[in-house]
């Protein structure tokens, strides 16, 4: 069996990636620390589903633990690596900045050192749309200059892109960095807006809506994101043979390293997203209109032309359909 190593495998996106790989016949080695950044029972529920598969091996550990990933790479010799483990959250980076350096930078460095010792065929590392920072020209294209990140979280994600490029250049490691855009769906994180909005609306409590509702996001349904990631597995970057092959390609001129947006290619007003939750729950939202929060940006919008050129895939789930599926899962999981 082909072996894939997935970090952050009990996380929101990691669970869906691992599950999809298992369904496709891969042996999956999952690494997750089960940190208490949010409700660990939710992570455990995801892990329980993964462990029901014979082809899944769970490793409970922090990715930044020295030598752990090198040992796992040597033991399992993964053909592909999908690196999703990270300290998430823009606002939490104001409260606990050291955790972002330890996990996002330290963990990625440990991963790259492991790959240096035991090179896989392809590594796919998660970045974020927040890497675009203060850019106001939209939709965001991968070749845009991205030097003015607005939060420590965003700065660490952009830094991992740079560090990965250096390793790709020095050691010939094929690396695809994917920048994802406001991912939502069943099993989503409780600290994200869809979860918080749904819980408060169902409980009859007011929701906090920042920038007085004048926000737009490229909401991406989780299974669309995962489908794109799996299709990118075969789109291995090669700077020696692929230069100029794809219009707007972010392929490095000196390394097998590429950055790819994964989004829905649409900037949805936040108030429309809230309306979709109201429709799915059958309950009108009470809103506290608030000023913009530190580190946030008013809009995100992905140009997905490169993703389509590389894979032929276009994310397609509408916000109305995606929110309805999330609310159905929420009611079922929390027995509401």
Q: What is the pLDDT of residue 91?
A: 81
Task: Give the active site residue among 153, 167, 184, 221.
Answer: 153
Query: 134 vs 72, 147, 177, CA distance in Å?
Result: 38, 8, 20
Q: Tell me the C-alpha distance between 69 and 78, whole Å.
A: 11
Place of tokens 């580190």: 295
Q: What is the pLDDT of residue 89?
A: 84
Q: What is the pLDDT of residue 90?
A: 83
Q: What is the pLDDT of residue 83?
A: 98
- DSSP class of residue 93? G
Q: Tell me the C-alpha distance between 78 and 29, whole Å.
A: 8
Handedness of CA 268, 319, 12, 18 (dihedral sign): negative
**pLDDT in single tens digits along all 336 residues of the chain:** 899 999 999 999 999 999 999 999 999 999 999 999 999 999 999 999 999 999 999 999 999 999 999 999 999 999 999 999 999 988 888 889 999 999 999 999 999 999 999 999 999 999 999 999 999 999 999 999 999 999 999 999 999 999 999 999 999 999 999 999 999 999 999 999 999 999 999 999 999 999 999 999 999 999 999 999 999 999 999 999 999 999 999 999 999 999 999 999 999 999 999 999 999 999 999 999 999 988 888 899 999 999 999 999 999 999 999 999 999 999 999 999
Least Cα distance to 328 among 282, 271, 286 occurs for: 282
Q: What's the farthest any 2 CA atoms get from each other in the chain?
A: 58
334 is catalytic: no
* pTM exceeds 0.75, yes or no: yes
Q: What is the pLDDT of residue 334?
A: 96
Q: Tell me the C-alpha distance between 131 and 110, whole Å.
A: 21
Least Cα distance to 125 among 164, 155, 68 occurs for: 164
Q: What is the pLDDT of residue 200?
A: 97
The H-assigned helical ranges of the chain are 12-23, 40-51, 68-76, 97-100, 108-117, 152-171, 193-203, 222-232, 270-281, 305-311, 319-333
């Amino acid at each position: 069996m082909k072996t894939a190593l997935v970090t952050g495998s009990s996380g929101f996106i990691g669970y869906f990636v691992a599950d999809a790989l298992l369904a496709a016949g891969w042996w999956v080695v999952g690494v997750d620390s089960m940190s208490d950044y949010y409700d660990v029972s939710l992570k455990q529920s995801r892990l329980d589903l993964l462990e029901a598969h014979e082809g899944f091996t769970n490793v409970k550990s922090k990715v930044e633990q020295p030598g752990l990933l090198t040992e796992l790479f040597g033991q399992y010799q993964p053909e592909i690596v999908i690196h999703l483990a990270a300290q998430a959250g823009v606002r939490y980076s104001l409260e606990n900045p050291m955790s972002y350096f330890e996990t996002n930078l330290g963990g990625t460095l440990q991963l790259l050192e492991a790959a240096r010792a035991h090179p896989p065929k392809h590594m796919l590392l998660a970045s974020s749309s927040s890497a675009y920072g203060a850019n106001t020209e939209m939709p965001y294209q991968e070749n845009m200059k991205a030097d003015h990140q607005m939060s420590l979280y965003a700065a660490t994600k952009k830094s991992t892109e740079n560090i990965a490029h250096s390793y790709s250049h020095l050691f010939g490691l094929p690396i695809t960095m994917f920048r994802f855009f406001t991912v939502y769906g069943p099993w989503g994180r409780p600290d994200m807006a869809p979860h918080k909005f749904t819980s408060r609306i169902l409980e009859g409590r007011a929701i906090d809506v920042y920038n007085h509702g004048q926000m737009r996001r490229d909401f991406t349904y989780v299974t669309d994101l995962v489908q794109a990631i799996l299709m990118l597995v075969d789109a291995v970057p090669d700077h020696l043979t692929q230069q100029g092959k794809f219009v707007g390609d972010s392929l490095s001129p000196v390394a097998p390293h590429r950055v790819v947006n994964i989004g829905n290619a649409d900037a949805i007003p936040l108030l429309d997203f809230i309306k979709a939750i109201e429709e799915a729950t059958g309950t009108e939202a009470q809103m506290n209109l608030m000023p913009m929060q530190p580190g946030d940006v008013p809009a995100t919008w992905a140009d997905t032309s490169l993703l389509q050129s590389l894979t032929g895939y276009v994310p397609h789930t509408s916000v109305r359909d995606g929110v309805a599926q999330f609310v159905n899962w929420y009611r079922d999981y929390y027995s509401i």
